[in-house]
Structure 1
Amino acid sequence: MRDWVLSTPSRTAPIPNPQSPIAPEDRAQLTFERLFGPEFGHGKTFDLPRLKAALHALGAPQLRLPPVIHIAGTNGKGSTIAFMRAIAEAAGLRVHAFTKPHLFALRERFLVAGDVASDDALIGAAERVASVSTELTQFDAQAAAALLLFSEAPAGVVLLETGMGGRDDSTNVIENAALTVITPIALDHQVELGPRLADIAAHKAGILKPAAPALVARQQDAAREIIEARAEAIGAPLLRQGVEWDAYAHAGRLVVQTETRVLDLPPPTLAGAHQIDNAGLACAAMLAWRDLPDEAFADGVAGARLQARLQPLTRGPLSAPIRATGGEVWVDGAHNAHGAQALARALHAMQRRRPAPTIAVVGMRARKDADSFIGAIAGAVNHVIGVPLSEAHVAPVMMTAICDLFGIESSAAPSFEAAMQNAAQFPAPRVLICGSFLLAAEALRVESG
């Protein structure tokens, strides 16, 4: 890549660090933490029988749901669900969805008949769950609360995203899914799921159900073989990208082709070539589930929205100084090597359209693999600025040390604001804020004023 030089500030980015504003109180999150403890680092065992017993005491809401589409995978789950939701709603269906993570408030994870659940509704559901068991993990309790809310409101479909893995995940209390979907599998959460891709794939494949079609994105061989073996063992029909269906860009449009139908659709609204695969997977899944009209797929693909997925910042105060120089700002929640690879491909494509110094502002949680993330994005950026997060994180100076190993110019900033001031000193830069949904949320909050 062309070398772009930043003369100041220095590598240590000595810029003042004003105190960031405190986010509004999240009443639902505080309630779940009070009743069940923290979502992470809780010390409780993962115990599906315990969750099933609690659900039985609540009247077995998991058995009183609209058709369930269960989604697992490492990356692309949120985008795929966003496309599926938009397609279903374009077809006139009401949608329940349980997803993670949230950006600003816990209630974002709970979509009930097309509307984000209120704090009051979530708090009420949490208290009902706590009345039968406070020994559940917080995510167990979230899943139970979602199932309660979904069982009590009419809808046409439930889109249910795993929290981590699949086989032992809290959402895997669903016994009769209409469909399962597996997005691309890559290395992440190795401490919990195992060190090898095959170990992780075995967890993800645990959501497959006998006789329920399984829509599978294109996979690395080690993951694909595990999924195929599990499907054969339990009798789950497989619909694999590149075999029984495919999706690709052609003449500026998205083409989705199955063995019985071809869709010629507008390009996805979400940016990046990887969204062709995510939108294609969503379309293939909905085709496998129901005979929906072509217009629903076209409107859904063109109308899906999801924050912090290669999202351009175009109107607010955060991006204004950089836009004033002719630059651009993007934000993405990618936090593992596979996600970083997708970002690198997108950045290369942007560079072909407009050559510019590419600056990655990166903040990562302590439990994430910063080495592999930075290594995956290294060839697509000119400079990395490491920033701290409000929770346990990889120290910015550690990021600069990692960048040194990959031969990337870098600096450590004492705050996100300082990092953006640093980035604005490049000529008409392309700035990508990434590494954590926590950092993405902070960027979107500042941009909104």
Structure 2
Amino acid sequence: MASISYRQNPNPIFAPVTLMTGSPAFSRASSSLAVNMKRSYENALNLLETRRRKARPTAPAPSTGQDSPIPIASAVKGIPSLENDVDRLNIIHVTGTKGKGSTCAFTRSFLHAHGVRTGFPKRIGLYTSPDLQCIRERIQIDNQPITEDLFTRYFFEVWETLAAPNQAQSTRQPRYLQLLLLLAFHTFIKEGIDAAIVETHHGGEYCATNVVRRPIVTGITSLGLDHVAQLGPTVEDIAWHKSGIFKPGAPAFSVVQDPGPAEVLQKRAAERNTALTFVSPSDTLPVNNRVLSVPVQRLNCSLAIQLASAFLQAKDSKQVLSSDDISKGIDNFSWLGRFETIKSGNSQWYLDGAHNPLSLEQAAEWFANNVNATERPMYRVLIFSHFSEERDGVDLLTTLAHALSRHKALPNHVIFTTYHEREDGSTRIDKTLKVPETPFPDLCSIYSSLWKEFHPDATVSTEPTIEQAIRRAEQISHQEGAMEAFVTGSLHLVGGALSLLRP
């Protein structure tokens, strides 16, 4: 059994640990693929890409019957076995339907502010998904994606260990996300992280991230219907899956939920022998219109305060998250592509990667709160794109149209576009685009017809790339003298827009 040893780790917080790789490893074909391969960032990305599955499973995992927590020795089918190394990473484990990324980012920001003041934690790791602009966003240390050099070095250390001849004959390869998770754990251990915030991929009980046996604290954000093919069909089923991250002795926190899923969470907490606390929006949060202008962010922020506070108390009863830590954490909060604004000349851009009904409702409210607060109404443009085999784009667009109408923030001009970023066809090597089977022009035509039915007075157009959609909006701004543009519907769209608006 191969291993990656951390016995030389200079950080005294961690005892000697070993990353064991007993469940999946690499076949002879994958092993030969890396023979004599140069250790470059691009080659690491190419090897990682070979582990991407064509599509997610369509059959739901069981959500009733016997509780079956994931044994660390064999984990879920296809997930590498990890021994005591992960247990010593001081993990905050977060799941939910909407707000996971923001909650993780708030938690990181609070712990960072506390660390600056007290000296602990000094280094904070964050594992999250998906990425908007580059794959390294998924593995961050101290508020920055790891460098290309670190990504390359640690990727090949993991890859070559898994591809060792004594591994290749008896075991199978980890998939794309499982390999990224291994890379994140390996990176955090080698870099001496004091606290690691880990966001689930989706689900919880059968998520690869649930190899974490001893988190310091766990958290659940708002629940809703998403990934129903794997987790559904009801929100109670989804609550069962999400609460799979609860562990004995690790305090659990959840934002307030509807009665049905709340009951499921309480039952699961009792089964897992942990205390569950429901968190409402705090009425003592400082005023910050940039960060807390939308109610859901106040809720995510309140949950993060509880997670950070419980983490510090668990590590040292004398550690207390102060009001100054909270204030500075909020002031320094940032989360790429979520409730993000960019000012450019006379144009104001509002970007949110919402891609399910719940998140689109919240994004529409946030946009309306901002544009309706301006003294002089400006011309409004909506740029929308969503192409997925898992979600109904027509349903999402319908949700968005009704939400914008209800909040009196309907656009004057709607631009539908694709996930293709640049007009010349160039792409970034560390951003992979999954193109759906349904042709883009057909879907854009469907979206255009649908919007004209909703709001006949709106001007509707389509553009073949994100770059051309941005350019079209800028031309409109020039013609109208000013513009407020709302970019939403997909993380692919928002990531591409950000790379153009703020390279």
Question: What TM-score range do you get, normalising by the shorter chain?
Answer: 0.7 to 0.9
Alignment partner for residue 366 of structure 1, among 368, 371, 388? 388
Q: Provide the secondary structure at the position in 2 that maps to 1:385.
A: strand
Percent identity, aligned pairs only?
25
| CA RMSD in angstroms, aligned pairs only | 2.8
Alignment partner for residue 330 of structure 1, among 342, 350, 367? 350
Alignment of 1:416-427 (within 5 A): 416-423=466-473, 424-425=475-476, 427=480
Alpha carbons of structure 1 residues 330 and 53: separation in structure 2 relative to 1, 3 Å: closer
Alignment of 1:224-239 (within 5 A): 224-239=262-277
- 1:346 corresponds in structure 2 to 366
Query: Is residue 434 from structure 1 mapped to residue 454 from structure 2 by the alignment?
Result: no
- 2:332 corresponds in structure 1 to 303
Residues in 1 aligned to 2:76 and 2:145: alpha-carbon distance in whole angstroms: 24
Given that 1:68 and 1:157 are in contact with CA atoms closer than 8 Å, whether structure 2 keeps it comes out as yes
Alpha carbons of structure 1 residues 419 and 54: separation in structure 2 relative to 1, 3 Å: closer
Residues in 2 aligned to 1:163 and 1:102: alpha-carbon distance in whole angstroms: 12
Alignment of 1:261-272 (within 5 A): 264-267=285-288, 269-270=290-291, 272=293
Given that 2:470 and 2:497 are in contact with CA atoms closer than 8 Å, whether structure 1 keeps it comes out as no
Give the aligned residue type for 2:417: V
Residues in 2 aligned to 1:33 and 1:176: alpha-carbon distance in whole angstroms: 30
Query: Is residue 392 from structure 1 mapped to residue 427 from structure 2 by the alignment?
Result: no
Q: Provide the secondary structure at the position in 2 that maps to 1:163.
A: coil
Rg larger for = 2
Give the aligned residue type for 2:263: E
> How far has the Cα of 1:84 moved from its partner?
0.9
> How far has the Cα of 1:59 moved from its partner?
5.6
Alpha carbons of structure 1 residues 384 and 289: separation in structure 2 relative to 1, 3 Å: same
Given that 1:272 and 1:310 are in contact with CA atoms closer than 8 Å, whether structure 2 keeps it comes out as no
Q: Provide the secondary structure at the position in 2 that maps to 1:159.
A: strand
Residues in 1 aligned to 2:359 and 2:56: alpha-carbon distance in whole angstroms: 27
- 2:29 corresponds in structure 1 to none
Given that 1:269 and 1:305 are in contact with CA atoms closer than 8 Å, whether structure 2 keeps it comes out as no
Residues in 2 aligned to 1:128 and 1:113: alpha-carbon distance in whole angstroms: 22
Query: Is residue 278 from structure 1 mapped to residue 300 from structure 2 by the alignment?
Result: yes
Alpha carbons of structure 1 residues 357 and 370: separation in structure 2 relative to 1, 3 Å: farther
Alignment partner for residue 85 of structure 1, among 93, 96, 108? 108
Alignment of 1:20-419 (within 5 A): 28-34=44-50, 37-38=51-52, 41=55, 49=74, 55-56=80-81, 60-65=84-89, 67-92=90-115, 93=121, 94-112=123-141, 115-130=144-159, 131-132=161-162, 135-242=173-280, 246-248=281-283, 255=284, 264-267=285-288, 269-270=290-291, 272-273=293-294, 274-290=296-312, 291-315=320-344, 320=345, 323=346, 327-354=347-374, 355-367=377-389, 368-378=391-401, 379=405, 380-382=409-411, 383-390=413-420, 391-393=434-436, 395-404=443-452, 406-407=454-455, 409=458, 410-419=460-469
- 2:497 corresponds in structure 1 to 443
Structure 2 gaps of 5+ residues are: 1-40, 62-69, 116-120, 163-170, 313-319, 421-433
Q: Provide the secondary structure at the position in 2 that maps to 1:359.
A: strand
Give the aligned residue type for 1:83: F
Alpha carbons of structure 1 residues 339 and 114: separation in structure 2 relative to 1, 3 Å: closer
> How far has the Cα of 1:266 moved from its partner?
4.1
Given that 2:80 and 2:174 are in contact with CA atoms closer than 8 Å, whether structure 1 keeps it comes out as no
Q: Provide the secondary structure at the position in 1 that maps to 2:196.
A: strand
Residues in 2 aligned to 1:108 and 1:186: alpha-carbon distance in whole angstroms: 25
> How far has the Cα of 1:107 moved from its partner?
1.4
Give the aligned residue type for 1:403: W
> How far has the Cα of 1:116 moved from its partner?
2.7
Alpha carbons of structure 1 residues 201 and 443: separation in structure 2 relative to 1, 3 Å: same
